[in-house]
Amino acid sequence: MKHNTTKLSALMLAAPLTAMLFSCQIKPEEEKDSNDVTRKFNSTWNIYEKQQVNEDGSITYKSIPWGGLVGTFLKNNAPMDLSAYESITFEYAEPTTVPTQVVVQDRFKTWGKEGITSLTCNFDGQDVSAVEKILFQTGDSSTIHIKKVYLTPSYGVWESTPIWSGECRFGDWENGFMIKPEKFEQAYEGDKIEFIFTADNDDPNLTYWLIKTIYSGTSETLKGNDYELNSYGCAYVSSDANVYRIVLTADDVVNLREKGLFSNGYHLNITQCNLLTRKEADYTQE
């Protein structure tokens, strides 16, 4: 009897240990990247579209023009605060054959031209403290294979230096303004140009608003927002937004220091431009 009791005790001891080992083995497989939000895009805007989640976690989205793949962002049944993130990115399995667009909370959006392999919608400068819906759209019927959708956390602090102020009402491409080369002497790759604006909303016939940025004295557009540009070199902006930013490439910096910048567009009123430089977070311990 003593022998049986000992054997039973050993089995009872082994069982939780086995469970613990099994738990330890599967835990890494269950862990997910907290910034990966692909699984949140699990419905479509209407019944004429289809969304399928593949074995590898990617999404096959069969779209119609300006329908929508819907991502729902809720925490405890309340809209999520995404203020700690600077952007959301959609990565495609192959270059797109149609224009694509990301709309955040029906307030601001980023448009992407065809032929790109990813589209990033930047949050910085916008209010993302209560986001419930993010919509992914296509400009025409298509099948889009989305490998991954992820949020990029913010880090450091952006310092703002005014480089132009005034009031430039673009109207119907009637006006524009220039920023002199010397204003970009302290610009470096990865810095941003920030445009502060309001959109003309009085005319109900207006359905889109545009901004174009070129190296002054040329017809060449900046490279930093190339993926957003339509065939005329213009970027679409939301009428509900009031900030538009371009991340500068190395080529942008060289050309802006030499030529400066010229900007015009369609029914936007620009009041200020700033150069944003990132101040890295100080992790030094005393």
Do residues 141 and 226 both lie within one domain?
A: no
Cβ-based neighbour number of residue 284 at 10 Å:
4
- Using CB atoms within 10 A of its CB, is residue 133 exposed (0-12), middle (13-18) or buried (19+)? middle
The reported pLDDT for the residue numbered 35 is: 94
**Is the pLDDT reported for residue 18 higher than 60?**
no
Which tens digit of pLDDT belongs to each residue from 19-50?
332 333 333 333 467 899 999 999 999 899 99
The reported pLDDT for the residue numbered 22 is: 31
Do residues 134 and 217 both lie within one domain?
A: no
**The CATH number of the domain where 269 resides is what?**
2.60.120
Residue 31 covered by a domain: no
Question: How high does pLDDT run on average in the chain?
Answer: 87
The reported pLDDT for the residue numbered 4 is: 45
Average pLDDT over residues 158-187: 96
DSSP, collapsed to helix, strand or coil, labels residue 233 as: coil
Burial 89-102 (b: 16+ CB within 10 A, else e): bbbbeeebebbbbb
Q: What percent of the chain has pLDDT over 70?
A: 86
Which tens digit of pLDDT belongs to each residue from 258-275?
999 999 999 999 999 999
Do residues 47 and 108 both lie within one domain?
A: yes
Do residues 220 and 143 both lie within one domain?
A: no
Distances (CA, A) of 87 to 56, 102, 150, 243: 24, 11, 8, 14
Do residues 164 and 275 both lie within one domain?
A: yes
Average pLDDT over residues 56-61: 96
Query: How far out from the chain centre does Cα 104 lie?
Result: 9
The reported pLDDT for the residue numbered 9 is: 38
Residue 113 covered by a domain: yes
Which tens digit of pLDDT belongs to each residue from 197-252?
999 988 889 999 999 999 999 999 999 999 999 999 999 998 888 999 999 999 99
The reported pLDDT for the residue numbered 32 is: 61
Distance between CA atoms of residues 118 and 71, nearest Å: 17
Residue with tokens 């070129």: 214
Give CA angle at 156 (154, 159), nearest 5°: 110
Distance between CA atoms of residues 81 and 127, nearest Å: 9
Q: E strands along the chain, which residues?
A: 41-44, 50-53, 59-63, 69-72, 74-75, 78-79, 85-92, 100-104, 108-112, 118-122, 133-138, 142-153, 157-169, 172-179, 192-199, 209-215, 235-237, 243-247, 261-266, 268-279
pLDDT interval class at 280 (50, 70, 90)? low
Range(s) of the domain holding residue 183: 157-279
Residue 234 covered by a domain: yes
Residue 3 covered by a domain: no
pLDDT interval class at 3 (50, 70, 90)? very low
> Of 122, 153, 184, at which residue does a domain stop?
153
> Of 132, 153, 174, at which residue does a domain stop?
153
The reported pLDDT for the residue numbered 124 is: 78
Distance between CA atoms of residues 147 and 56, nearest Å: 9
Query: How far out from the chain centre does Cα 120 lie?
Result: 3
> Of 153, 176, 210, at which residue does a domain stop?
153
Distance between CA atoms of residues 38 and 59, nearest Å: 8
Distance between CA atoms of residues 193 and 260, nearest Å: 12
Which tens digit of pLDDT belongs to each residue from 114-146?
999 999 999 877 899 999 999 999 999 999 999
Q: Are 212 and 234 in contact (CB under 8 A)?
A: yes
Q: What does 48-85 look like in DSSP terms, one character per residue?
A: T-EEEE-TTS-EEEEE-TT--EEEE-EETTEEB--TTE
pLDDT interval class at 190 (50, 70, 90)? very high
Distance between CA atoms of residues 132 and 105, nearest Å: 6
Q: Are 125 and 197 in contact (CB under 8 A)?
A: no
pTM above 0.85, yes or no: no
